[in-house]
Structure formats: structure tokens, C-alpha cells
A and B are shown apart, each in its own frame.
Chain A
Amino acid sequence: MADETTDYAIKLDIFEGPLDLLLYLIKKNEIDIYNIPIALVTEQYLQYLKIIKSLNLDLAGEYLVMASTLIHIKSRMLLPVPDEPSDEETEEDPRAELVRQLLEHQAFKEAATALEMRPLLERDVFTRAAQISDKAENLSDNDDDLIEVNIFELIEAFHRLVSRIDKKELMEIDLEKLSITDIINDIMERLSRDKNITFEELLGEKRDRRRIVYTFLAILELIKMRMIKAYQTAAFGVIRIFPAVES
């Protein structure tokens, strides 16, 4: 038993979650995946779990869910099967859902390996020139170096703009209907046309407080959704917005 424990410990790194561990146990015991001896697998699984718990408590969470699923299945398997099942529901093997999950997981593991074995760019095959990377990086070659903007710099830019507005303008009541969605759409449309754009350009002539606030919120939302990236050339410099991904 003690020897087994050390044996388990060595192999722990290779598991990518509970499904992976189960697949390993199935392979190790040469079990037919369509007919898993649930008692044996549950027992071995719990042994591994003990070791995982002793090593890394954080990891144990998702493994515990699987442990309870296994025990639940095991208990259901112990219930007597009715001679004449009344409906489809009762006929289903308690293991069916788990088997489906395991097979799907296995299929994607294989797919991942197959992908990895393809001739990969910059590993197996190379193109004539350096791969064109993000537009922003491209621009940085000939322009000043761009720094990715953090939230504080965005807020700073926002403050600078607001402080520049004419006081009188702030008093005006604006009946123009604005929505963040409209502004988001407007930004994405302009970016598809112009490649990059500054915060000030986005506002254009209409610099009332609401438009500034809405535009600012739209930019924050787009950054959060990873639709755009914000860069500047120097601290307190002009902030430029780039589309985050090419379509």
C-alpha cells in the first residue's frame, strides 16, 4: 500500500481534471469503458483523491464532485433492477451519462493530439517573412512604441476631456437618445473602417457630458469583452483604440 502511494504521487501531474483521472484508471485496469465496474473504479479514484488532497487542496474541489457522482452511481447500481421496467427512464444505466462524458472527453483528447501533430507554423513549416502579427504590434515597428493602456490611464484621459468641456455646454439639456449599444456598434463600425481611432476622434464635435460618459462606458465594455485594445505611445499620451482580433 505504501509503495502504491508513491507510485500515484509521481503520476499526478499528468491529470487534467477528474475525467482525465478516470480515463487513466480505466486504461490502467484494462476496463471496457461501456461496462465500468463502478465499485473498483470508485475505490481507486478515492485513493488518488486522498493523495491529491494531501498535495493541493485547491485542486480537490472539482475532483470531489466527481467522487460524489461515482458514489451516487455506485449506490444506484446496488438497487435491484425491476423485472419489468415500467418506462424508459428506469431502464437507463446509472453509468450512461458518465460514460458519454468520458467518451466525449477522450475523443477531444485525441483530437488535441491530432492537432498538435499537424505541421505547425513556426515549428514545422515557415513562411517567407515573419508572420504578420497583431496590427498594433505591426504599427509599433515604424511608429513610436505603443504601451497597452490600463484602466487608470483611461480614467485619466476621461478626466482630461471632461475638464476641457465648456461649462455652459454642460448646462444644456440634450434630448438626443443615446444608448451604450449604439455607441458600441458605432465604435466597431468605425474601427472596421479606420483600423484605429483615438478617444477624442470618437467623440467628434458632440462633446456633451452624456456622450463622453457613454463613450467611455462603451470603451470599457468593449475592452472587457476583448473586442478592442487600447494603446498609447507614452504616459499621458493620446490613447488609440485598436480592434482586438481580426475577423
Chain B
Amino acid sequence: MENCKAVIEALILASEAPLALEKICAILEEVEKTEVKKSVEQLIAEYNERQSGIYLAEIAGGFQFRTRPELSLWVKKLKGTKQASLSPAALETLAIVAYRQPIVKSEVESIRGVDVSAPLKGLLDKNLIRIVGRKDVPGKPIIYGTTKKFLEVFNLKNLSELPTLREFKELNEQTEAIQDFSNS
């Protein structure tokens, strides 16, 4: 198919949610998956090279056209000023759920050191996290995980694309400090 790239471009634009590679392949039956993948990569490169107002982003396991972040000022003028940002408490709770999922409330609380009922409820209402089940321990606590919408909102390809958590010095290094202390 010669116009494969153009078809893919049209499909991605017309799709409401990020369009998965598998879905494109299902539509373009006769085209090889590797060919589709190559075309998508070409499209991404072309949009980047052209420095146009939109770029082709890989989001939540699919592809979607998005406006460039540096143009947000202008687009916001079009969209109005409504901007629902997350509180620091909600953001921290979300980060813990994202990195440590599947996770129960008590585990989130032991990291934050405070009650997280309110931020968890807010995140559920915003559809950024979801209930994935109940843990098989006494009390059957609810297990939380992030949603596809979380990936869409935070511009993530998948969960492994989350920025790596800063590692802290491990126990053996801590023991050194302890020895220092006991010597002094």
C-alpha cells in the first residue's frame, strides 16, 4: 500500500482516544505490522522535523496528536481558563499509587504519614486511579492502581515510562553512619 502513511495519519486524527498499533493493523489488514510501525515512526519524525504546532505522541499504548507544550499559552486562550490541578496531597498520593501499585490504603498511609482517604477519593472521582480488587488479608482492604486516563493526563506511554524514583542509600551504607555514631 503506497499511501499507508497517509491512512494511518487520518486514522489517528479521527480517533477520539489514543489509537493502538493493533487497532491500526486490524484496519489495514494487508499491511505488515512492521510496516505500520515504520510508518508511524516516520510520521512522528516528520512532525518533529516540521516543528509544527502539533506532534504525534505515544500515549497509553496508542498514538495521538497533541498540541506542543510550548504553545499551551495560546491554546489555553482558546479553551478558557478552567484548569483543575491536583493538590500536593493528591499528587503525592497519586505518585505513591503509580509507583507502588497494586497498593492498599494502609501502605500509602505509611509512606505519607497521614490519612489519605480524601485524596484517594478525589483521585477515584477524577478517574486517575481505580480499584483493582481486594487483598486477601483480614479486612479485605481495597487494592488501588492507576487508570488509562492517568497515562493520558500525564503524557505517559506506559507505566515503565514513569521517571525513575530517586534511590536512597541502602542499608549497608546506613550501617556505616551508625557505626560512626557509636564511635563518637
Contact = CB atoms under 8 A, between A and B. Distances in A.
Contact of A225 (B13, B131, B166, B167): B131
A118 B155 contact: yes
Given A112-B92, A128-B65, A121 B153 contact: yes
Contacts of B153: 120-122
A245 B127 contact: yes
Given A115-B162, A118-B156, A225-B134, 7 more contacts: A17-B113, A110-B166, A112-B92, A116-B91, A121-B155, A127-B65, A226-B131
A103 B168 contact: yes
Interface size class of B (residues with CB under 8 A): 35 or more
Interface in A87-104: 91-93, 96, 99, 101, 103-104
Given A16-B89, A104-B168, A227-B131, A115 B154 contact: yes
B177 A127 contact: no
Nearest to A121: B153
Nearest to A37: B181
A126 B67 contact: yes
A35 B16 contact: no
A105 B166 contact: no
Interface string B70-98: 00100100010001111011011011101
A208 B165 CA distance: 55
13 contacts: A17-B113, A32-B177, A34-B173, A101-B111, A101-B113, A108-B96, A108-B111, A111-B166, A120-B153, A122-B83, A125-B68, A125-B155, A246-B147
Interface in A205-220: none
A81 interface: yes
Given A111-B95, A124-B69, A125-B67, A34 B113 contact: no
A62 B114 contact: yes
Nearest to B99: A111
A40 to B, nearest CB: 14
B12 to A, nearest CB: 10
A114 B164 CA distance: 10
Interface of A: 16-20, 32, 34-35, 62, 66, 81, 91-93, 96, 99, 101, 103-112, 114-116, 118-129, 131-132, 134, 225-227, 244-247
Given A110-B166, A112-B91, A20 B113 contact: yes
B48 interface: no
A217 B44 CA distance: 51
B152 interface: yes
Contacts of B154: 115, 118, 120-121
B2 interface: no
A115 to B, nearest CB: 6
B29 interface: no
B135 interface: no
Contacts of B147: 245-246
A116 B91 CA distance: 8
